[in-house]
Structure 1
Amino acid sequence: MARGLKRICKSSLREGWPIYLLALLTFAAGIGVGCWGVRGLDSEQVKQLVLNLDQFMYQADKLMLDRSSMVRDTVTNNLIYIGIIYLLGLTVIGMPVVLALLFARGFSLGFTISFLTKEKAGEGIMLAFTSVVPQNVLLIPAILLASVAALSFSWLLIKRFLNSRLPVLPGLIGYHMLIVIVCCICIAAGLVEAYVTPELIKATATFLK
């Protein structure tokens, strides 16, 4: 089974590398624009954001969190996001929207990390690693995988339109299997965000006081 899965992955990379490249470039472009976007903030916006961040960090170690509610909210948000990508992948016109969502996620990540490191220097790097990185280690690969799967299946539908003999069912089954795997990863990311990230933020806030 492992050999079969490895063979499928190699075949997918060999035949669909342009889609993988497109997804990665779109996400990377989002990160780049997000980093650049921090420079577009005026002094008042920066001052307000820094003030909000300082207030949050001052109170972070005293926050009482409802873990079950956090898990429910984070997992639900993650699954809704993946669900939207999944539905878009079932249509041809959804391809540009999938790329837009991927770009937006990259922008958000790039903006957050860039702002923290630019305004807080070393402290910002610590905050980025404790508040942003833990869940995104799982979530970002999951989103990339879902986006690639959606783009690939949409492309398959286009080829099917041009060649009515091209089978769609194997691709549809593979698409659903990948989405199920992605959903499992997103659930794990939600658990990390609810149980691991807050503790890391509290520890960082205590250390930086």
Structure 2
Amino acid sequence: MNRNYQMRLYMREHLPLYLFVSVLLVMGIVFGALMVNALSPGQKEEMARHVNSFLQIANQGSEFGGTNTLWDSFSLHLKWIGLIWILGLSVVGLPLIFVLDFLKGVLVGFSVGYLVGQLSWKGMLLAFVSIAPQNLIIIPALVLCSVGACAFSIYMVRNRFMQKRGALYPAFMKYTTTTIGMAVLLFLVALFEAYLSPSVIGWVAPMVTGQAG
């Protein structure tokens, strides 16, 4: 009960940060989707070849995913939140945390926008099974890590001005524990991307390529 109360108190205290980071991500998604219109015909054709090649592999039942995908995916997620954790340790890194949040939104928005723009409802279906599921967890985890980093960075500034250096360690441990918790969650996401997502994409691929039997 006490822990739940502390969690609610923490979220209420940092609500402006949660809203700001969430808005940044949404802005990034919208910006990324709009970026698709700025692609040249040659760039769109090149990307279309990559998407078609990937769909053909999935459609033929070829093996993809597995251990290599697991560690590649987890490594990418870990680097992302690890960088946020490091930036949270320095006040000067605070703006870069916001840049990373915006960039993540751009990547998601661009991917979804491209698939929908090029493949219409089929692209929406493909985005729904290949992009949406993991990002329903990745984005909230990123928000929690970013808010934790911002809150700790602001706390350090206040700590130095108020000269209460003894109170810094518990805040650091809470901040680090949150990041480690999100890393564990993102490992589960990587498991999904490596072992479950390929099967779902393989099931949808014939519908997208028009080869459903």
Interval containing the TM-score (normalised by the shorter chain): over 0.9
Aligned to 1:71: 70
Amino acid at match of 1:33: F
Runs of 4+ in 1 over 6 A off after TM superposition: none
User: How far did residue 158 of structure 1 move?
Assistant: 1.4
User: How far did residue 80 of structure 1 move?
Assistant: 1.7
Q: Determine what percentage of the aligned residue pairs are the same residue.
A: 27
Aligned to 2:196: 196
Aligned to 2:27: 29
Aligned to 1:153: 152
Residues 3-82 of structure 1 mapped to structure 2, 5 A cutoff: 3-62=1-60, 63-65=62-64, 67-82=66-81
Amino acid at match of 1:28: V
TM-score (norm. length: structure 1):
0.93
Q: Provide closer, same or farther for how the CA distance between residues 66 and 35 of structure 1 changes in structure 2, counting only shifts above 3 A.
A: closer
Q: Is the 8 A contact 1:138 1:188 kept in 2?
A: no
Q: Is the 8 A contact 1:16 1:152 kept in 2?
A: yes
Aligned to 2:108: 109
2:129 equivalent to 1:130: yes
Amino acid at match of 1:36: L
Coordinate RMSD, CA, aligned: 1.5
Stretch of structure 1 that moved more, 60-69 or 120-129: 60-69
Q: Is the 8 A contact 1:134 1:193 kept in 2?
A: no
Unaligned runs of 5+ in 1: none
TM-score (norm. length: structure 2):
0.91
Hey, what's the Cα distance between the residues in 1 that align with 2:53 and 2:145?
A: 36
User: How far did residue 66 of structure 1 move?
Assistant: 5.4
Q: Is the 8 A contact 2:116 2:122 kept in 1?
A: yes
